[in-house]
Amino acid sequence: MIRLVDYTLTEADGQQWVTVVKDIDADTGGVTRNIHRFPAATVSIRAGEYGLTGLDEALDVVLHEPFLTDDPAAALLTARSIDAARIAHLERIAAVKRVHAKRSGQKDTGDVLTRLGAALRIDPDLARAHAARTRAIRARLRPDTEEP
């Protein structure tokens, strides 16, 4: 289980950044504390790249991505379609969650996630820009596929 302990929002030169503190149950037992820093725009970017359904899904993806060890780029930019890439990426995220499955006796701090979700938003212009960017790169790498 990856539990959110706290988060902070900071701004540097006009760009907003998120720092999230997470507690992670390792397979080997014990808890490790992870601190994750990402641009607040990442949720909008990821929603645009993969065509995610909304902020909750995008945030879930972003918070679990630091534990991926395989290659999302290959899927996003070279899969036969963006739909296929999205399905594959969500499956990888689900696999990260399975590794860190919830153990009995641990309390869930879902309120941190709720508050973080309320502090962020999907910027539709930014999402559209990154959707277009992804299509443009895919057109070069996978000219055999036609995206909608």
Partner 1 sequence: MAGEWAARREGLAALVAQVASLQQQINDLRAAASVRNAAISSPDGQRIEILPTPEIRMYPSSGDAYASLFAAPESISGATEAWFGLKAATNSSGEFFGVAADPNHLRAGYMHDPDWLARGGLAYTDATQAIVGAYQANVIQSGLRCGTDGHLNLSGAWWDNSVYAADTGDAVLAGSVAFGAATSISVSYGPTMASVPKVVYGILNSSGTYPGHKLTAQSATGFTVGLSASLAVTLNWWAAQVA
**Residue ranges that bind partner 1, judged by CB under 8 A:** 12-13, 15, 17, 21, 24, 32-39, 41-42, 45-46, 49, 62, 65-73, 76-77, 130, 133-134, 137
49-54 long-range Cβ contacts below 8 angstroms, 24+ apart: 49/76, 49/130, 49/131, 49/133, 49/134, 50/76, 50/82, 50/85, 50/86, 50/89, 51/82, 51/83, 51/86, 51/131, 52/86, 54/122
Smallest distance from partner 1 to CB 73, Å: 3
114 versus 141: smaller Cβ distance to partner 1? 141
Smallest distance from partner 1 to CB 133, Å: 6
38 versus 112: smaller Cβ distance to partner 1? 38
